[in-house]
Amino acid sequence: MVGNNRKMSSSIKKMDRNPVADETARAADAPPLPAEAQDRIGRHLQQIYGQLLSEPMPDKFAKLLSDLAKSETDKEPEPKE
């Protein structure tokens, strides 16, 4: 209880000066999810992200890179060679 109050008052003080610390303090006030819930979320996350990753890639991207490599335009000046 005492610890919580200390955290709260320090986060109120810091709000005036340091938004990053405030955000961190606020996160500290919110307890992390239990491991089981975190795992479940992690699995779902990886599933939806995995579906995005495995979408077929249109040709235009490989083509773009190949065109860029061939044209050699707009290359930033290199320090050596």
Partner 1 sequence: MTGQSPDLELQTGLVALTPNLRAFARTLCGAPDQADDLVQEALVKAWKHRNSFEPGSNLKAWLFTILRNAYLSERRKRKYEVSDPDGVMAEQLSVKGEQSGHMDLIDFAKSFGQLPTEQREALILIGAEGFSYEEAAEMCGCAVGTIKSRVNRARVRLAELTGIRDGSEIGEETVSTVNSR
Residues 6-45, one symbol each (x = binds partner 1 by CB under 8 A, - = not), give --------------xx-xx-xx--x-xx--xxx-xxxxxx
CB 8 within 8 A of CB 29: yes
Is 9 or 46 the residue whose CB approaches partner 1 more closely? 46
**Residues 6 or more apart from 22 whose CB is under 8 A from it?**
11, 14, 15
Tell me the C-alpha distance between 56 and 49, whole Å: 14
**Contact positions toward partner 1, by CB under 8 A?**
20-21, 23-24, 26-27, 30, 32-33, 36-38, 40-49, 51-55, 57-58, 60-62, 64-66, 68-69, 74-79
